[in-house]
Amino acid sequence: MATLEKLSDIEEVLSELRIEAINPSYSTGAEWGNVDQDRIKEILSPGTGKKIASVTMASANDYEKVITQAQNAFEVWRKIPAPKRGEVVRQIGLELRKYKEPLGKLVTLEMGKILQEGLGEVQEMIDICDFSVGLSRQLYGLSMHSERHEHRMYEQYHPLGIVGVISAFNFPVAVWSWNAMLAAVCGDVVIWKPSEKTPLTAIACQKIIKDVLKRNELPEGIFNLIIGDAEIGSLMSADKRVPLVSATGSTRMGKKVGETVGKRLGKSLLELGGNNAIIITAHANVEMAIRAAVFGAVGTAGQRCTSTRRLIVHESKYEAVKNRLLDIYPTLKIGNPLDENNLVGPLIDSDAVENFKAALEKVKEEGGNILTGGEVLYGKGYESGNFVTPAIVEAKNHYNIVQEETFAPILYLIKYEGTVNNAVDIQNDVKQGLSSAIFSDNLQETEYFLSYSGSDCGIANVNIGTSGAEIGGAFGGEKETGGGRESGSDAWKVYMRRQTNTINYSKELPLAQGIKFEI
């Protein structure tokens, strides 16, 4: 059943997170914009189709106010020592811990992912705060030996300035935090444009951060929020005052952002579409692989960029895998995502449902066979038309629709013959290159998968699924996924400008490469 918890519980969550009935269009920390009745947008819960609250959509004038405050704040924030910036981020992490439960519920209420995933998303924010605190003392540059006598060379990193973050609805807060917390310890200020489908969680985070900044007597404009549609994203992408734009979303959107930023020779960090596959070889532990495939395919109702969309199975395991999946899928509990008994929540909106239905029609036209699922659930307790039954489809990798990313719980079952080389060729034969996985207990197969001849994705896993990345590793992909890297490892470097320094402490002026130039 899709009935949400009683209304008083929802109102309690909104009250605790200070979400108003109508919320302003922007915030620079202490300052919040005015409510404009002519620019109101209602935010509906995908689980009920009912209004949660309303927001004001930003104008170009609102954007200019935010940019001005961010520029002013950068002049202060960049001069604060990095470990002290890390201390502020540490306090943000502590505040997020206090609000983990209501914020996780709001993620679920607004986006539709099940409560465990909503809480997990808030935990990602907490984890990246912890990571960033340690990073604030590790913004290392290298020291190099000079070829010139009595010279010293080294490199250092400086803050970029304003970092624009355009986030997607499917991870309404976590991906922003990957960018914002790293950028903050690097000395940058952040302007966040959340998805217009999920702005309430962004407002809640901004209010939590505002309290931390106030306690530390810091200026507004370090963490900024602006709620708007594609117009605001376009302004940010074209703005030379924003040296880096980090955008998460579809490949189509990313190409527009990348082109606009590139025309002004700015920097872009793009996390775009995925068409992720799990390979199950003849030497796989099938039960492990099935568990990973089911979570990867139906988690967040198939609306993760790392969702498992293709299952490439060796012919010797194919029937066993298919039958096991057909046993499990009808038992998946679909409904109210706030009910912890349910494993599958709703799609984000009616457009997503239409895309789900259209993809299934297209795959049938191309010769695919729908084995189970594909229904839209409405009535009988399902208060919105956004619930669907996850589908399994026998298909070929070359089908046009299989080559595309459909943000919905559709799992394409693909058979392969011969060696693991053939499976990897199938996996790589798509335009996207985000996440990939292989299940095999054969060392030669797994090492081939991880070699230069193997997976062409930014993420390649062995005996775990395609989704559920940890924050310690750099996250991102290749090809039409955009090539960006966020979160862990040395992803922090994209938020800073690199500078090479050479110091001459001699009394002479020798040139490099032994060049003689006498005057």
Q: Which domains does the chain have, with CATH numbers?
A: 7-272+484-498 (3.40.605.10), 276-470 (3.40.309.10)
Of the candidates 25, 72, 11, which has an alpha carbon nearest to the alpha carbon of residue 202? 25
3 state SS of 64: helix
DSSP for residue 157: E
Q: Would you state the pLDDT for residue 2?
A: 39
Q: CA-CA distance, 242 to 263, in Å (whole number)?
A: 13
If phi over 0 gives left and psi between -120 and 50 gives alpha, with beta otherwise, what is residue 199? alpha
Helix 100-111, helix 82-98: angle, nearest 10: 80
Q: Side chain identity at 149, as an amino acid letter?
A: H
Q: CA-CA distance, 177 to 209, in Å (whole number)?
A: 12
Q: Would you state the pLDDT for residue 18?
A: 96
Q: Would you state the pLDDT for residue 4?
A: 44
Whether residue 271 lies in the annotated active site: yes
In the block, which residue shows the tokens 């009988």? 380
Whether residue 457 lies in the annotated active site: no
Query: How far is C-alpha 168 from the chain's CA centre?
Result: 7
Contact 152, 503 (CB under 8 A): yes
If phi over 0 gives left and psi between -120 and 50 gives alpha, with beta otherwise, what is residue 34? beta
Task: Name the pTM for this structure.
Answer: 0.95
Catalytic hit among 271, 383, 405, 486? 271
3 state SS of 75: helix
- The helix (H) or strand (E) run that includes residue 119 is helix 115-135
3 state SS of 461: strand
Contact 373, 407 (CB under 8 A): no
Q: Would you state the pLDDT for residue 411?
A: 98
Edge to edge, what strands does the sheet with 151-159 contain? 143-145, 151-159, 496-504
Catalytic hit among 205, 305, 405, 445? 305
Contact 393, 411 (CB under 8 A): yes
CA distance to 165, 348, 473, 506, 509, per residue, from 176 (Å): 7, 19, 16, 48, 48
Q: Which pLDDT tens digits describe the chain residue by residue (519 residues)?
A: 334 455 557 899 999 999 999 999 999 988 899 898 999 999 999 999 999 999 999 999 999 999 999 999 999 999 999 999 999 999 999 999 999 999 999 999 999 999 999 999 999 999 999 999 999 999 999 999 999 999 999 999 999 999 999 999 999 999 999 999 999 999 999 999 999 999 999 999 999 999 999 999 999 999 999 999 999 999 999 999 999 999 999 999 999 999 999 999 999 999 999 999 999 999 999 999 999 999 999 999 999 999 999 999 999 999 999 999 999 999 999 999 999 899 999 999 999 999 999 999 999 999 999 999 999 998 777 889 999 999 999 999 999 999 999 999 999 999 999 999 999 999 999 999 999 999 999 999 999 999 999 999 999 999 999 998 899 999 999 999 999 999 999 999 999 999 999 999 999 999 999 999 988
Q: How many CB atoms lie within 10 A of CB 377?
A: 17
